[in-house]
Homo-oligomer: A and B are copies of this chain.
Amino acid sequence: MPEPRSGSRPTLEAVAALAGVSRATVSRVVNGGDGVRPHLADRVQTAIQELGYIPNHAARTLVTRRTGAVAVIIPEPEARIFSDPFFSRQIRGISKELTAHDTQLVLLLVEDLCDYDRIERYLAGGHVDGALAFSLHTDDPLPAIADRIGMPMVYGGRPGWTAGPGEDDRVTYVDADNRGGARDAVRHLLAQGRRRIAHICGPLDQTSAADRLSGYRDVLPDAGCELVASGDFTAAGGARAMAELLDRAPSIDAVFAGNDLMATGALRVLRERGRAVPAEVAVVGFDDAEPVAESADPPLTTVRQDIEGMGRMMARLLMERLGDGRGGGRSVPGPVITQTALVQRASG
């Protein structure tokens, strides 16, 4: 049995020789095979099977100028990236969509700012056709780099430099309706008769945090600033913020946390201080990513965003922009804002 030797895989040439045709014909068969007589196509297919031929990626990329790969760039400095299921789910969504387009996911974790040199070389070196990036800060150098080297990008979460949701159509991003979702959460608490509603916000240099705070203020424009405490989107930060709120405003009867992780931190502090949830204090979170919200104690009422769907959408927009096949759609799709939905559970 002629086992193919590892280390030197069969080439197009070998297939052509075995099938008794030219390289060009084999190439046609491999790439869809229009305009090849079934007779020959079959012979080629057989040869391909027999030799276990698999096209060489580098050679193909060299001539087509397409890599079939996409970078996902994650600013690692915020270590919450992996502890927060948010990113994981989004990556899963991205992965699914890319797989459906036969495109590979190259993960680029950015440890610190000087890594951006490496990132630039990588992106410019033709390793990938486009890139997806998460939760950039206002001063992130990535957009400038992408611009300079002409790399198609799609952002996750509204980038900080845009004027506001839906107000800048030159950049493609996918975001949830953070402001609207926050309004829903606060209105839900109001409808329960809650009157002293506090907010634990995330880091305000991220638009998701800022937009949720805006939503809170939309509904409660007169809320005193003693009712707003800052967290960092982690459980520990949420706990600290909750403790602060209880000290500053002991009479609060509800808390809207900027995400589920902070909400769980808040729940822990409320339990430690003997405040019954939701009887004395209602708690609402944001995200509804497995398994945090559902397995919280008590299970969290929260604002659901379709995180995996947002990931898929990011990938889809990029694919669209890359013109899936050859040349096609060069357009730059505008932002996509996805809807949120309040999910009521036991906490409020």
Contact of A236 among B52, B59, B124, B295 (CB under 8 A): B295
Query: A27 at interface (Cβ–Cβ under 8 A)?
Result: no
Enumerate chain B residues within 8 angstroms of A239, measured Cβ to Cβ: 295
User: How distant is the Cα of A7 from the Cα of B65 in the complex, in angstroms?
Assistant: 10
B109 contacts A107, C-beta separation under 8 Å:
no
- Segment at the interface with B among A80-88, A159-167, A213-221, A248-256: A80-88
Q: Which residues of B contact A234 (CB under 8 A)?
A: 291
As a 0/1 sequence over residues 263 to 299 of chain A, the CB contacts with chain B under 8 angstroms (1 = contact) are 0010010010000000000000000001100010100
| Cβ of A118 under 8 Å from chain B | yes
Query: Chain B's nearest CB lies how many Å from the CB of A274?
Result: 14
A345 in contact (CB, < 8 A) = no
Residues of A40-66 contacting chain B, CB below 8 A: 52, 54-59, 61-62
Q: Could you say which residues of chain B place their CB within 8 Å of the CB of A89?
A: 82
Say yes or no for A143: interface residue by CB 8 A criterion.
Answer: no
A50 to chain B, nearest CB (A): 15
| A127/B57 in contact, CB under 8 A | yes
**Could you tell me the distance between the alpha carbons of A127 and B60 in the complex, rounded to whole angstroms?**
11
A169 close to B (CB within 8 Å): no
Q: Is A14's beta carbon under 8 Å from chain B?
A: no
Whether A57 touches B104, Cβ cut-off 8 Å, given contacts A6-B149, A297-B268, is no
A186 contacts partner chain B, Cβ-Cβ < 8 Å: no
Q: B99, B111, B126: which contacts A99 (Cβ < 8 A)? A: B111
- Residues on B with C-beta less than 8 A from A9 are 124, 126
The reply to whether the CB of A206 lies closer than 8 angstroms to some CB of chain B is: no
Residue of A111, A122, A295 with highest tally of chain B CB at under 10 A: A295
Complex Cα gap A180–B136 (Å) = 43
- Residues of chain B within 8 A (CB-CB) of A82 are 85, 88-89, 91-92
Output the nearest chain B residue to A56 by Cβ-Cβ distance. B126
Cβ–Cβ contact A83 & B291, under 8 A: yes
Q: Is A105 an interface residue (CB 8 A)?
A: yes
Q: Which residues of B contact A58 (CB under 8 A)?
A: 57-59, 61-62, 67, 126
Closest to A82 in B: B88
A103–B307 Cα distance when bound, in Å, is 30
Return chain B residues, CB-CB under 8 Å to A77.
Answer: none
Q: Could you tell me if B57 and A59 are in contact, using CB atoms closer than 8 angstroms? A: no
Tell me the nearest residue of chain B to A87, going by C-beta: B82
Q: Does A171 contact B (CB under 8 A)?
A: no
Contact with B along A71-106 (1 / 0, CB 8 A): 010001000011101001101100110010010111
From A297, which residue of chain B is reached at the shortest CB distance? B268
What are 13 A-B interface contacts by the 8 Å CB criterion?
A54-B121, A57-B127, A58-B67, A58-B126, A83-B290, A83-B291, A102-B118, A104-B127, A105-B108, A235-B295, A236-B291, A236-B295, A268-B297
